[in-house]
Structure 1
Amino acid sequence: MKVQISLNQIFEITGGELLGSTNVVINGIQGIEDAVQGDLTFFYNDKYSKYLPVTDASCVIIPLGTNIEPKPNQAFIAHKSPHEALVHLLNYLSPKTEVSSYKVHPTAIIESNVSLPEHIHIEAHVTIGKDSIFQPGVSIMANTTIMDNVKIGKNTKIYPNCVIHSDTEIGDNCIVYSGAVIGADGFGYLESDLDGSYTKIPQLGNVVIENHVEIGANTTIDRALIGSTRVMQGTKIDNLVHIAHNCEIGPNTAIAAQSGFSGSVRTGKNCKFGGQIGLAGHLEIADEVVLLAQSGVSKGISKKGVYFGSPAKEVQLAFKIEAVMRNLPEMYKDLAIIKKKLSEIDNQ
């Protein structure tokens, strides 16, 4: 990332304790393994500790109390939370993406009885179905399809090539990234006892996305059979996540990529789900549950904590089991030796 900012400006934004040279001008931001002279970098994860003594970065944001001195012509900013300091700096430096002018592109197709405020931005080849309602500040980017009776709240941004199905409700200050599909039919079929064929079950519910939710690229959230599939306030969803019909995702939950939620899963608030986790249907997950990556959940989780494995277990137990399993080949060899010696004794 190319920037042009003085050390004093950076220090005013981040705060903390300034160490070393103050005559530093920063013209780039890089990870600590790639940073060179003129760059600002950061260190808050011990996995990268080997790079700290050797980096040529002109400025490094480090944890308070780190036992290292800056080189000549190098500055450190010691901070109680280097990650937080970096976020403040990136927010300051990030390009502002507010809509400069509100307009409706002439190629957009807008059906009857659509409520459009004065301050709305609709780009090329957007299609909007009838009876939809939009609040001020909404931005809908190119090639997005919004079907009938959709409601979208203030300052929500829909990136290109999204599909929002009928009756979906999206709150204020949400972001929906490219390729997301919200409100498609849930996976519901009636299997015949006679020949095993499937008859589609009508999906008559909808999807409700509350305020301040972000939905990643190519994520799919299915409409409910009846009632609502609901993603609650403040939740952040990564790319390529699937949330099935009638799920309820609790507030301020974070879901990493390639995770799957079967139908009617209910999660509590402030949960964190690592990449490629999977949950079986009709489960309830307590508040403040953390599922580490690739965990599979087959039963509900009733108390907060960190869980891992398939089936998921409390993390300390899961790690003990993993440690034993890694030793199984050697244990098998030892067992074979013991069996052989016992056999020799029996044959004497």
Structure 2
Amino acid sequence: MSHSIREIATALGAEAAGNLDCRIDSVSEPASAGAGALALAMDPRYAEGLAKGQAKAAMLWQGADWQALGLEAAIFAPRGRLAMAGLSRMFDAGPEIAAGVHPMALVDPSAEIGEGAAIGPFVSVGAGVRIGPNARIASHVSIAEGARIGADALILQGARIGARVVIGDRFICQPGAVIGADGFSFVTPEKSGVEEIRETLGEREEIRAQSWTRIHSLGSVSIGDDVEVGANSTIDRGTIRDTRIGNGTKLDNLVHLGHNVEVGRDCLLCGQTGIAGSARIGDRVVLGGQVGVSDNIFVGDDVIAGGGTKIMTNAPAGRVLLGYPAVKMDSHIEMQKALRRLPRLAATVAALQKAVSNSG
């Protein structure tokens, strides 16, 4: 796979200079770039690395003196990470999955496989499944009965798609994800200790034996278009209604969505985020790594929560949150400053106490 500087610049909608016919077969960091690589130096901080590598061409910041940097050609990226998105798409060949259905795949006769789909070895496709055109299913994936998967999907090794799950177009699923497992829902015949504590905020009349009765999950999972699910993430089916994810939302690795959760459009849920059952997440919400969301609450549109934040009550639209429990980010910063001052404050109080005692 190779592209000329001209082809790359045109695809990215970027300006280019120098030998536009120079061929590029890979992308690289400046210091380790070979002669056929496009070095990525979209910030002046990375310019010195160009002298250590062998790249003849580079993607540079606006206004860079490419000739002084010893290059034959350059592409100028006004927004480096956006250019990286297009560039990485051009050079990503994707997984090798042979066209058609592999002879070692097990596909139920009632399943419908769209035109141009590719299904790898050891894939299991259940009764009544519909797989859209040009979908690519890698090895060891299982798709349970009644599932619907849209066009141009990419489902990678070992993913599990449960019964009656509905997924839109251009879905990307990383290895090991599980979509449509039963929700974690149990009840006790009598009022449980958890219910009592929720009512009293910590007080318990007595501690007694209790046993758990399973509530089965009759719903499934509905996922919109252009959604991505990271490796080893888990999305539970709903109890009665479906667990839902809106168009354009991206889940990182090890994200967990409990039963009945609703996530809006174009959200970004980073690694190890956990959202408890029946919580609702608005549109364009960003949750950093290890964020936790309590059950049955609402997180409004455009909320941003920093890593490790624990959201335990409803969060209004547009709020920026940090901490445990979550508070406004500026409040959290002030609280942390106050904590750092506590030892000095304690020493001052002790000195004052001693002075008062001595004066008596």
TM-score (norm 1): 0.85
Gap regions ≥5 residues in structure 1: none
Contact between 2:26 and 2:91, CA under 8 Å: does it hold in 1? Answer: no
Contact between 1:23 and 1:73, CA under 8 Å: does it hold in 2? Answer: no
Which residue matches 1:139? 136
Contact between 2:50 and 2:69, CA under 8 Å: does it hold in 1? Answer: no
* Offset, 1:99: 5.5
Q: Percent identity?
A: 28
Contact between 1:21 and 1:73, CA under 8 Å: does it hold in 2? Answer: no
Which residue matches 1:284? 298
Residue 226 of structure 2 aligns to a residue whose secondary structure is: coil
Query: Which of the numbers 305, 314, 328 marks the counterpart of 2:342?
Result: 328
Residue 118 of structure 2 aligns to a residue whose secondary structure is: strand
* Offset, 1:65: 5.8
Q: Distance in 2 between matches of 1:342 and 1:259?
A: 52
* One-letter amino acid matched to 1:126: V
CA deviation vs aligned residue, 1:186-237 (integer Å, no higher than 9, x gap):
0100124373111111111111111111111100000001111001111111
Which residue matches 2:276? 262
Which residue matches 1:239? 253
Aligned ranges 1:147-158 → 2 under 5 Å: 147-158=144-155
Which residue matches 2:174? 177
Which residue matches 2:289? 275
Which residue matches 1:220? 234
Contact between 1:14 and 1:86, CA under 8 Å: does it hold in 2? Answer: no
Which residue matches 1:315? 329
Contact between 2:293 and 2:312, CA under 8 Å: does it hold in 1? Answer: yes
Structure 1 residues 162 and 85, CA, compared in 2 at 3 Å: closer, same or farther? closer
Which residue matches 1:121? 118
Which residue matches 1:159? 156
Contact between 1:173 and 1:211, CA under 8 Å: does it hold in 2? Answer: yes
Structure 1 residues 94 and 128, CA, compared in 2 at 3 Å: closer, same or farther? closer
Which residue matches 1:89? 87
Contact between 1:231 and 1:249, CA under 8 Å: does it hold in 2? Answer: yes
* Offset, 1:337: 2.7
Contact between 2:98 and 2:119, CA under 8 Å: does it hold in 1? Answer: no
Which residue matches 2:194? none
The answer to whether 1:198 aligns with 2:195 is: no
The answer to whether 1:211 aligns with 2:208 is: no
Which residue matches 2:103? 106
* One-letter amino acid matched to 1:222: D
Structure 1 residues 343 and 112, CA, compared in 2 at 3 Å: closer, same or farther? farther
* One-letter amino acid matched to 2:92: S
* Offset, 1:288: 1.1
Contact between 2:175 and 2:230, CA under 8 Å: does it hold in 1? Answer: yes
Q: Distance in 2 between matches of 1:129 and 1:81?
A: 45
Structure 1 residues 72 and 195, CA, compared in 2 at 3 Å: closer, same or farther? closer
Q: Distance in 1 between matches of 2:18 and 2:352?
A: 64
* Offset, 1:329: 2.9
Q: Distance in 2 between matches of 1:12 and 1:131?
A: 44
Structure 1 residues 14 and 132, CA, compared in 2 at 3 Å: closer, same or farther? closer
Residue 301 of structure 2 aligns to a residue whose secondary structure is: coil
Structure 1 residues 44 and 340, CA, compared in 2 at 3 Å: closer, same or farther? farther
Number of residue equivalences: 338
* One-letter amino acid matched to 1:152: I
Structure 1 residues 92 and 331, CA, compared in 2 at 3 Å: closer, same or farther? same
Contact between 1:19 and 1:70, CA under 8 Å: does it hold in 2? Answer: no
The answer to whether 1:73 aligns with 2:70 is: yes
Contact between 2:97 and 2:137, CA under 8 Å: does it hold in 1? Answer: no
* Offset, 1:61: 3.6
* One-letter amino acid matched to 1:174: F
Residue 113 of structure 2 aligns to a residue whose secondary structure is: coil
Residue 175 of structure 2 aligns to a residue whose secondary structure is: coil
* One-letter amino acid matched to 2:346: Y
* One-letter amino acid matched to 2:86: H
Contact between 1:271 and 1:290, CA under 8 Å: does it hold in 2? Answer: yes
Q: Distance in 1 between matches of 2:124 and 2:78?
A: 49
* One-letter amino acid matched to 1:337: A
Q: Distance in 2 between matches of 1:65 and 1:119?
A: 45
Q: Distance in 2 between matches of 1:192 and 1:285?
A: 32
C-alpha RMSD of the superposition? 3.0
Contact between 1:147 and 1:166, CA under 8 Å: does it hold in 2? Answer: yes
* One-letter amino acid matched to 2:329: V
Gap regions ≥5 residues in structure 2: 191-207
